[in-house]
Every structure is written in structure tokens, then in C-alpha cells.
């Protein structure tokens, strides 16, 4: 399986290969197909593969059940990744005010430094 492939794409490609081999006379038992699929998953699926191997009897696990389990995990994984991206994209709106030039008083450099430090502190706490 390629890193960006979905389970459906991977299973479709796998099924095409197995069907081609069966047409040539090579057959695989259900157990062998399940093992080949589990081995072909990328490293981000390692926890799911381990969970399936420890909780299921792989010699009796139907392909449909494996595919359903993998698709469910993929949906949950996608949701979690989307939530993380949404949190990273949190935007900040700043209130802007304008003053007439005649109303603006000249500030001391220390006042500007204090204002800058306060704004920076507020932004980092958000």
C-alpha cells in the first residue's frame, strides 16, 4: 500500500492482482490473503495491525471483516488528522483603531516596548 492510498484503492488493486493470479492457476487461501494485506499496510497502521493480530483468529478471519475493520480505522484516523489540522489553523482577529494625527501624542520608547511586550504575551497565550 502506498502512503496516500485509501483502503478501498489498496483492496481494489489487491483483488485485481489475486484475480489475475487465479486466472493463471495460482490460488490463495483466505488466511494467506489476510496476512498479505496486513503486511502491506504502511507503518502508521502498525497499531491496528497489532490489535487485529492479537484479538482475532487470523486463520478464520474473513476478508470482508478485515476490510470493514480497516475502513473504520481509516475513517477514524482521517477525522483525528482533520481535527489536528483545524486546531493548527486557529485564526486570531485583532481589533484595530485609528486616531487623527493631531490627537496622537509622541510616546516614549519605553511605552512602545511595554505595549509590544503585552501584545506578544497575549498572542502567545491564545
In a domain, 118, yes or no: no
In a domain, 126, yes or no: no
Query: 46-84, pLDDT tens digit by residue?
Result: 999 999 999 999 999 999 999 999 999 999 988 988 888
Burial class for 66, CB neighbours closer than 10 Å (0-12, 13-18, 19+): buried
Domain that residue 77 falls in: 7-88
The predicted model scores a pTM of 0.62
In a domain, 24, yes or no: yes
Sign of CA dihedral 45, 49, 55, 60: positive
Query: 9-26, pLDDT tens digit by residue?
Result: 999 999 999 999 999 999
Number of separate domains in the chain: 1
In a domain, 63, yes or no: yes
Amino acid at each position: 500500500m502506498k502512503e496516500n492510498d485509501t483502503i478501498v484503492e489498496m483492496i481494489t488493486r489487491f483483488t485485481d492482482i489475486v484475480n489475475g493470479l487465479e486466472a493463471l492457476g495460482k490460488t490463495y487461501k483466505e488466511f494467506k490473503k489476510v496476512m498479505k494485506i496486513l503486511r502491506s499496510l504502511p507503518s502508521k497502521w502498525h497499531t491496528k495491525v497489532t490489535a487485529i493480530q492479537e484479538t482475532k483468529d487470523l486463520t478464520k478471519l474473513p476478508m470482508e471483516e478485515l476490510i470493514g475493520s480497516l475502513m473504520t480505522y481509516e475513517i477514524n484516523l482521517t477525522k483525528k488528522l482533520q481535527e489536528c489540522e483545524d486546531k493548527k489553523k486557529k485564526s486570531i482577529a485583532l481589533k484595530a483603531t485609528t486616531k487623527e494625527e493631531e490627537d496622537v501624542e509622541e510616546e516614549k520608547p519605553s511605552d512602545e516596548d511595554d505595549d509590544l511586550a503585552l501584545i506578544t504575551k497575549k498572542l502567545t497565550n491564545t
